[in-house]
Structure 1
């Protein structure tokens, strides 16, 4: 009986450790093959499923983020308001007084249905470092909260330059049009505006638009399989 109990305890411990390793597997070093991060040590990792000349399909494992909402007429204004709150959090404005470095990318959830002349609610999220994916410091600002992103496949369109309201909407529209042509199903309620670079970086910037896949991902008529 004792041997059986020890065996069950060992299996339970192994399962727990496996779950913890899965929880942090989505955050890894920025020098990995699946990284567009050039200014941070850790980056959100992904598996490339397929690629067309108009978009990519990626798989992301579950991950934890710290988030906040901002009401604004333009994405840039809302993102700036929310960014300050989140930056204060990683700079020590938490109950533990912990300071940690920025990760990448930064996500902005952008609602699709916005009435003309009414502000939208933008949700900005910072990826938590691998060391804090399981037990993140508690925010002192009650406008901050944690978001657990599930395993998901996403359609991705990449572009350079600056992630402004007009450019983000333009590339969301172009991705939307490409997915419609391909007969792809995806979440129409919102898309993600995704930025990898600090405002101080002037050249070789990388931004993305994401739509979350519904059902089986579609690679179009001429996919290029992931290596």
Structure 2
């Protein structure tokens, strides 16, 4: 992944330490999902502190689409790795978007690796596939709809909400997080993520200690 912020937050709520959500409500179609603590939530977006994680990624080439990039990572999960092991499905699948002439363009795709591989991951056999460690990070999250239509508008809405709240975040990129299995036809879960820079202001607004 692109540079991620190493920020470990410990949320205290009513005197009880919050715990990582190992099976968050978004995790319905995968054996393992990215764990996080919900720092604060309002009608516009949710702020999360996610755990350190390991991802396998690939760039979206100019000559191909996002689905070919996803196919390379699927091949890695399907034994195209050293030592040639099958890896169970995880969630979310992340696509990094940046703005090109005002239009969002997919730049890279990432699959989450199971926690057991944090210290000793299978190595890619495809030179276009690479491993990426992500330290703990704070994310601003908004639902993106079931079919990922109008991504630009939905990302812009979250962008403007964060500006109104005077949150500090990386403004030149966002992520689309896909949680649902490709076989799921209804009730699909997708999200827009922006990455925070520093501690979120919403924690202070809600009177919470980080």
> Which TM-score band (shorter chain)?
0.7 to 0.9
Cα distance, 1:42 vs structure 2: 0.7
The answer to whether the 8 Å contact 1:50/1:224 transfers is no
Q: Which residue number corresponds to residue 63 of structure 1?
A: 53
Matching residue within 42, 47, 51 for 2:41: 51
Q: Which residue number corresponds to residue 162 of structure 1?
A: 147
Provide the secondary structure at the position in 1 that maps to 2:124. coil
More strand by share: 2
Matched, 1:139 2:129: no
The answer to whether the 8 Å contact 1:172/1:191 transfers is yes
Q: Which residue number corresponds to residue 148 of structure 1?
A: 133
Count of aligned residue pairs for this structure pair = 190
**Cα separation, partners in 2 of 1:27 and 1:67, compared to 1, 3 Å:** farther
Matched, 1:195 2:185: no
Matched, 1:219 2:209: no
Q: Which has the higher contact order (CA 8 A, sep 6+)?
A: 2
- In the aligned structure 1, how far is the partner of 2:116 from the partner of 2:26? 21
Q: Which residue number corresponds to residue 110 of structure 2?
A: 125
Cα distance, 1:72 vs structure 2: 4.5
What TM-score does the superposition give when structure 1 sets the normalisation length? 0.76
- In the aligned structure 1, how far is the partner of 2:120 from the partner of 2:79? 15
Q: Which residue number corresponds to residue 186 of structure 1?
A: 169
Judge which range, 41-50 or 128-137, deviates more: 128-137
Matching residue within 67, 71, 93 for 1:80: 67
Cα distance, 1:108 vs structure 2: 0.7
Cα distance, 1:102 vs structure 2: 1.0
Provide the secondary structure at the position in 2 that maps to 1:92. coil
The answer to whether the 8 Å contact 1:82/1:124 transfers is yes
Structure 2: gaps spanning 5 or more residues: 1-18
Structure 1: gaps spanning 5 or more residues: 1-24
Cα distance, 1:26 vs structure 2: 7.3
What TM-score does the superposition give when structure 2 sets the normalisation length? 0.81
Provide the secondary structure at the position in 1 that maps to 2:119. coil
- In the aligned structure 2, how far is the partner of 1:26 from the partner of 1:84? 30
